[in-house]
Amino acid sequence: MKEETAQTVRLSARGLTGGTFEAVLEAKVARQTARYAWVSGTEGIEAGRRDANTIAVTNVGGSALYTDVKIGTPGKAFFVDVDTGSSVLWVPSVACVAAGACPAASDTYSITASSTGVVANNSVVFEEDYGTGAVRGYLVRDTVVWGPLTAQQQLVMLVTQMDTTMFDQMSSIGGDGILGLAYDRGQGATVGFQDGDSASLTANLLASNALPNSYFALWFNQSAVFSTANPNDPNGGAVSFGSTDQSLYTGQFTFVPIVPTPILLANGSTDNLSYYWTVPISSSTVATSNGASFSIPTDTQIIVDSGTTLIAVDDTTLSAMIQIIGSVTQLVLQSSLYYFDCNTVQKLPTFNFYLGSGSGTLFPITYNSYVISDGVNCALGLMGLPQGQPSNLWIFGDTFLYQYYTVFDFGNKQVGFALATDGAGSGVPSGTSSSATAGGNGLGTGTATVTVTTTKSSAVHFTVSLALFLILILGN
């Protein structure tokens, strides 16, 4: 997720910082990737098998999804983080690397090397702040190609400086930049680049009718494979444009309308704009599978963010969840991360959240959604919110998204969830028993309920080598 300098409320600390694994994850409660497939605004989901409109994305150590985009003429490839929590595409400039302000291994963009590149917005310098990690630069326009899609005169932020956090993150992962897929500056917003055209790639593609439909969807491969020698899985996720891939989900979709998020404007006033993919929690009480319950802040909202790795909630809610989990397994706190015996993972409770308006729809948060493991070590993928963030504005990141094939629907302003296949043909996350209701909010028809139960022995699909994770983050 991103913070617009003096324009947007700070939502999360995204950067990768040096330090212990625990400190890294706390910082990462903010930054990393995603997974897609495109869906229709008013015509319903177009189900289909994987075709030319579906592309694979790279899963980096289980912590982020990256994809290649080509910028300029001739096109030059950049390895960028797929992020549903921001809307800007940025890559490093030649000058940034030459000055040592960007990693030396980064691919760089030079406007003089592209026959279609032009400077935009009078070279005014902007800053993109991701909470922990920021970049500065100016805008150019050029042709951008992503998979089968081409955007003409796309605004691209050409970075001239990274702060230390962003520098270290891109160095560790080997990434070049970030591809933001949130709404473009909020709908009707007067903030942002004010260049006359959309900043986000998705907004440009929609405006030019380059997309066959007004949605995309996201899928993380639960069976992605990593090793110290090869930390990237090139088939770790996928994006489909204009149709959904039936091999990537099972059952029906549940669609939840997005709600506006308070945005702090440059003049100091606040407006409610649909910038983030934010959905409401309908109940102020959360019940668990072991009979416990606790209250959460009134009017709590969840930002569905592929650019965040873990689940981030307010401190009071986090304490309640830790206490309930600690009643069935011993938790050992190391810095800010809770470790436990992997043999007890199936004893962990399910937290029942209801998303949407009214009574909402049940979304059980099983251990698959809040545990990270490499098969030897297990830890909770739960973190507190960054300092200063409203207690009722939570972030559900990759550990949650691994469990669902997620549709981001611009046309109907909603997010759709269906149980994700695990990448190995088994159909659903192992150890999961859940129900979901699909309502006809413009995508899909009628109402259907699907209940799925599996008894596979493997405990957690969000499998990350903790040692590898340290290597990726710390770069050593």
> In this structure, what are the phi and psi dihedrals at residue 215, rounded to the nearest 5 degrees?
-150, 165
Helices (H) and strands (E) in the chain, counts: 8, 34
- Which residue out of 81, 83, 168, 374 is catalytically annotated? 83
End-to-end CA distance of the chain: 26
Q: Within 10 Å of residue 433's Cβ, how many Cβ atoms?
A: 14
Helix axes 164-173, 466-474, angle to 10 degrees: 130
CA dist., res. 191 & res. 184, Å (int): 10
Q: Are strands 215-220 and 118-119 parallel, antiparallel or unpaired?
A: unpaired
Q: Is 267 exposed, middle or buried (0-12, 13-18, 19+ CB in 10 A)?
A: exposed
Contacts of 326 (CB under 8 A, 6+ apart): none
Indicate if 305 belongs to the active site: yes
Q: Among candidates 320, 328, 329, 330, which has minimal Cα distance to 286?
A: 320
- Which residue out of 163, 176, 245, 305 is catalytically annotated? 305
Helix or strand (DSSP H, E) at 338: strand 337-340
Q: Among candidates 94, 73, 202, 68, which has minimal Cα distance to 143?
A: 73
Asked if residue 34 lies in contact with residue 236, where contact means CB atoms within 8 angstroms, the answer is no
- Fill in the amino acid letter for 248: L
CA dist., res. 258 & res. 243, Å (int): 21
> In this structure, what are the phi and psi dihedrals at residue 93, rounded to the nearest 5 degrees?
-90, 160
Reduce the DSSP state of residue 38 to 3 states and report it. coil
Indicate if 315 belongs to the active site: no
Contacts of 270 (CB under 8 A, 6+ apart): 262, 263, 264
By annotation, the residues acting in catalysis are 83, 305
